[in-house]
Amino acid sequence: MIRFLLVFAATLALACGGTGAAKLDLATVNQAQFAAGEPKGVDPTVLKAQILLDRALFSPG
């Protein structure tokens, strides 16, 4: 059972792109601005919005 949970957790981490956020640094997030078109990978603007909403203790639920 434990082996199944470990395999499931590893598969979930790979499927969700858990390493994608590690490529962003502080300067990129702080200088994020809206741009036309779809960004590739993790969007720094969305990440910055999530951080600001979290700091404001905003929760949709």
For the stretch 16-54, pLDDT in tens is 665 555 567 778 778 777 667 776 777 778 888 888 888
pTM: 0.38
**CA-CA distance, 43 to 32, in Å (whole number)?**
9
Compute the chain's Rg from CA coordinates.
15
Kindly list the domain boundaries of the chain, sorted by start residue. Answer: 21-61
Q: What is the pLDDT of residue 37?
A: 74
The confidence score (pLDDT) of residue 6 equals 82
